[in-house]
Chains A and B, each alone.
Chain A
Amino acid sequence: DVKVTQSSRYLVKRTGEKVFLECVQDMDHENMFWYRQDPGLGLRLIYFSYDVKMKEKGDIPEGYSVSREKKERFSLILESASTNQTSMYLCASSWGSGRLYYNEQFFGPGTRLTVL
Chain B
Amino acid sequence: GNSVTQMEGPVTLSEEAFLTINCTYTATGYPSLFWYVQYPGEGLQLLLKATKADDKGSNKGFEATYRKETTSFHLEKGSVQVSDSAVYFCALALTTDSWGKLQFGAGTQVVVTP
Contact = CB atoms under 8 A, between A and B. Distances in A.
A109 B106 contact: no
A4 interface: yes
Contacts of A108: 43
A56 interface: yes
A103 B42 CA distance: 21
B89 A43 contact: yes
Contacts of A110: 42-43
Contacts, number: 58
Contacts of A103: 32, 93, 97, 100, 102
Contacts of B71: none
A90 B43 CA distance: 7
Contacts of B97: 103
Is the interface on chain B under 10, 10 to 19, 20 to 34, or 35 or more residues? 20 to 34
- Best-buried of B4, B32, B101, B107 by chain A (most CB within 10 Å): B101
A40 B43 contact: no
Interface stretch (B11-19, B44-52, B58-66, B75-83): B44-52
Given A31-B99, A105-B46, 12 more contacts: A4-B43, A42-B106, A43-B44, A48-B99, A94-B100, A97-B99, A104-B49, A105-B44, A105-B100, A105-B102, A107-B43, A109-B41
Interface of A: 4, 31, 33, 40-45, 48, 50, 56, 58, 90, 92, 94-95, 97, 102-110
